[in-house]
Structure 1
C-alpha cells in the first residue's frame, strides 16, 4: 500500500461515523412508502392549485358574469358558472384555500393544546391532573356540533379565526389522554430524573424533554387532525354554521351545489371530488407517517 493510501485508510479509521438522526430515518421510511409519496405529491399539488391556480384566470370568486348564468364548462369558464353567474373554478379554489387554512390551523392548535394539557396532567399529577382531566372529560361529553352551531352568529365576515379556535377546542381531548399516560411513564426515565436532580424547572423539563420525546405521536395526530378539521368545517358550513358569506369554503359550495347537482352537475362535482381527494391525501400521509415512526406496528398490521 502506498503512502497516500495508508494516510487515507488512517483518516477513514479515525473519522467518527455519525449515526443518522431519527427524523432522517423517519423521512427515509416515509418517502419509501408509495402511499406516503402519492399523498404528499397530491397535497402539494392541491396547495399549489388553491393558491396559485386563481392567477391563471381573469375571474375572482366575487366576480359575476351576468351573461352566463348556470353555464356548463367552457373556454371562458373552465368549471362552468353558478346560478349567480359566479365562476365555479374561482369560487372552488377560494373554497379550497379556506378549508385548507382552517384545517391546518385547527389541527396545529388542537395538537399543541393536547400536548400541553396532557403533559402537564401526567407530569404534575395531583390536583393539576384532576382539574385538567375533569376539564377534558367535560369537553368530551359536550355536544360540539350544537355548541358551534349556537355560536355561529359570532363567525361573521372576517371572524373565521374565531371559528378555527372554537373548532380546535373540540379536537384535542382524546390525544391529551394518550399524552398524559405516556408522560406518566416517560417522567420515570433516567434523563428526566437527572434533569430534576440538576434543578431544571418543571416547565423546561416538559417543553424541552417530555413533549419532544412525544413528537412521533403528535406529528401523526396533527396530520390526521387536518382531515378531521376539514370534514368538521365542511359539515358545519354545509348547514350554515361555519364559514359565513360572502366568504366560501368546501361546505358552503357543496350546500349550494346540491340544489342544482341533478341538472347542473358541474356546480357540485368539482368541489366534491376535490374535497375527497384532499381528505384522502391527508389520510395517506398520516398512515405513512405512523408506519414510518413505528414500522413494527405496520408489520403487525400486515400480518393480520
Structure 2
C-alpha cells in the first residue's frame, strides 16, 4: 500500500515545490545595454551629420570613379575631331578640351587616379609613422635619439622641391605615378610619428605591456600586437586626414607639371590645364575643380567625425 506523507495542514499528499525559476532582471526604461567600443564609436559617428554626409559623398564618388568610365560612351583618351573646346551639350555633358577630349571622361579618370594616390599614400605613411614612432618610444636609448634626428631632418627638408626634382628626372611611362606615391608617403609620416611616440610613452609602462615583456615576447611582437592597436584611434584619424593631404599634394605637383604625366591624367593635371582658360572656357576648369573641393571637404569632414567619435573624454561613458 502506498504511503502518502502529510502536507503542511496534515491532509493530502505533500507537493514537491517547483524548481526555482531563473530570476529576471527588472527592466526599467532607464536601463541600457553596455556597448562595445566599436559600437559606441559608430553611434557617435552617426550623430555627426556632417561626417555622415562626407562619408556618403566619398563612397559615391569612389563608385562613380570605378564604374563610370565603363558605362560612359567617351573614354578619357578619346578625341572628338568635331568638337574642340566645345561647351557642354547633349554629346559632351561637361564640354571638351582644346584637344577634343571629353571633360567628364577626363574628370572621372582624374578623380579615380587622385583617390588611388590619396588612399595609397595615407596607408603607407600612416603605417611608417606607427612603426617608427612606436619603435622609437619602446626601444629608447640611442635608437630613439637616432630616429628623432631623422624625423627632425625630414621635417625641415623642402619636400615639394625635392619631389619635383626627383619626378622630373625619374622614370616615365604609365606607371610613373607610383614614384609619386612613394615620395609623398616618404615625406608624409614624420610629424605623425612624433605623435605616435608620445602616445607610446604613456602606454609602454602599463601592466599588459610589462606582462608581455616578462613572458619573453620580442620587442617587434609587443609593438605590433599590443602598442600599435592601443594607439589605433590616432592612426585611423591620421590616415583619414592623410587622404586629403595626399590629394592636395598630388594636385599641387600635377598643377605645376611634376605629378601625373600625360597621357594619363589627374585632378591636378586637369586643373592646371583649365586654369589658363578659366575665364574664357570655364567648363574645362570648373568640372575637376568642383570635384576636388567636394572630395577634400568630404574627407576632412569624415576625419573630424572620427576624431570626435574616438575621443575618450566623451561623457557618454560607454552607453548609448
Match of 2:112, SS? helix
1:146-166 CA distance string (max 9 Å, x none):
100110121522121121011
Structure 1 segment 1-304 matched on structure 2, within 5 A: 7=21, 9-10=22-23, 19-153=34-168, 154=170, 156-157=172-173, 158-294=175-311, 296=313
TM-score (normalizing by structure 2): 0.87
Q: Distance in 1 between matches of 2:53 and 2:250?
A: 25
Q: Distance in 2 between matches of 1:114 and 1:39?
A: 26
Partners of 2:94 and 2:283 within 8 A in 1? yes
1:62-93 CA distance string (max 9 Å, x none):
00000011111111111110011000010110
**Structure 1 segments of 4 or more deviating over 2 A?**
9-13, 17-21, 295-299
Task: Give the structure with the larger helix fraction.
Answer: 1
Tell me: CA distance 1:18–1:193, structure 2 relative to 1, closer, same or farther (3 Å): farther
Partners of 1:121 and 1:180 within 8 A in 2? yes
How many residues in Structure 1 have an aligned counterpart in Structure 2?
291
Q: CA deviation at 1:135?
A: 0.9
CA RMSD of aligned residues (A): 2.0
Partners of 1:238 and 1:255 within 8 A in 2? yes
Partners of 1:155 and 1:244 within 8 A in 2? no
Q: Distance in 2 between matches of 1:161 and 1:298?
A: 44
Match of 1:3?
none
Q: Distance in 2 between matches of 1:295 and 1:99?
A: 33
Q: CA deviation at 1:296?
A: 3.4
Q: Distance in 2 between matches of 1:12 and 1:128?
A: 56
1:190-235 CA distance string (max 9 Å, x none):
1101111111111111000000000000000000010000000000
Q: CA deviation at 1:20?
A: 2.8
* Higher deviation after alignment, 44-53 or 282-291: 44-53
Instruction: Specify every segment of 5 or more residues in structure 1 that has no aligned partner in the other structure, as ranges.
Output: 1-5, 300-304
Tell me: CA distance 1:125–1:284, structure 2 relative to 1, closer, same or farther (3 Å): same
TM-score (normalizing by structure 1): 0.91
Q: CA deviation at 1:55?
A: 2.4
Q: CA deviation at 1:297?
A: 6.9
Q: Distance in 1 between matches of 2:301 and 2:315?
A: 14
Q: Which has the larger radius of gyration?
A: 2
